[in-house]
Amino acid sequence: MTDFKEEFIKNAFYRLDENMRMVSIALDKITEEDVWRKPNKSSNSIANLILHLCGNITQYGISSLQSTEDKRARDEEFTVAGGLTKAQLLEQLESTVNEVKSTILNLPESRFTEIKTVQGYSFSGIGNIIHLVEHFSYHTGQIAFWVKLMKDEQLGFYDGQDLNARSE
């Protein structure tokens, strides 16, 4: 299992780092006011999405995997309307991602298959890690889309990379 574990962790970390890179690029394109702007009453600001990501990653990837108390206040992630700068939001997200990476890296092998219940769903440690990675990717896409709508420009996530290269 060690080869599988190492490969799984390497790929999960790659995706977490890629999402961090893309969120950082997106934040660089907007103003301090834009980060708290909502497209409409039914949608969230980029700041709220970042706070939500921190809560979700902490709940699924830190509290659950470490078997520590879940202190998440999910509803508050969406009601905050200011008070943090882009730099503070990015720092909080980066700190959360670094903590979850440390948690995963130091996780005993048995925890990868141990079932935990989070938000009423029961998943193994692997399932919780997959969830937090895909959840981060999902909201990174929302952030990118919202920035593109506000600024009417490409974000350049893949500048210099040939995305038309064929699979081998």
User: 10-residue block means of pLDDT along the chain (168 residues)?
Assistant: 88 98 98 96 96 98 94 92 96 98 95 95 97 98 97 95 92
Closest by CA position to 34, among listed 136, 146, 137, 141: 146
In a domain, 53, yes or no: yes
Question: Which residue type does 93 have?
Answer: L
Which token pair is 2? 């060690």
| Residue-level pLDDT at 1 | 54
In a domain, 47, yes or no: yes
In a domain, 45, yes or no: yes
Closest by CA position to 15, among listed 159, 164, 167, 141: 141
Domain that holds residue 25: 2-151
Q: Residue 166: what are its φ and ψ, rounded to 5°?
A: -75, 150
Distance of alpha carbon 138 from alpha carbon 112, whole angstroms: 23
Closest by CA position to 96, among listed 54, 48, 125, 149: 54
Task: Note the pTM of the prediction, 2 decimals.
Answer: 0.94
In a domain, 46, yes or no: yes
| Residue-level pLDDT at 157 | 96
Residue 93's domain is classified under what CATH number?
A: 1.20.120.450
In a domain, 163, yes or no: no
In a domain, 97, yes or no: yes
In a domain, 157, yes or no: no
Between helix 2-28 and helix 125-151 the angle, nearest 10°, is: 20
In a domain, 66, yes or no: yes
Split into its structural domains, the chain has a count of 1
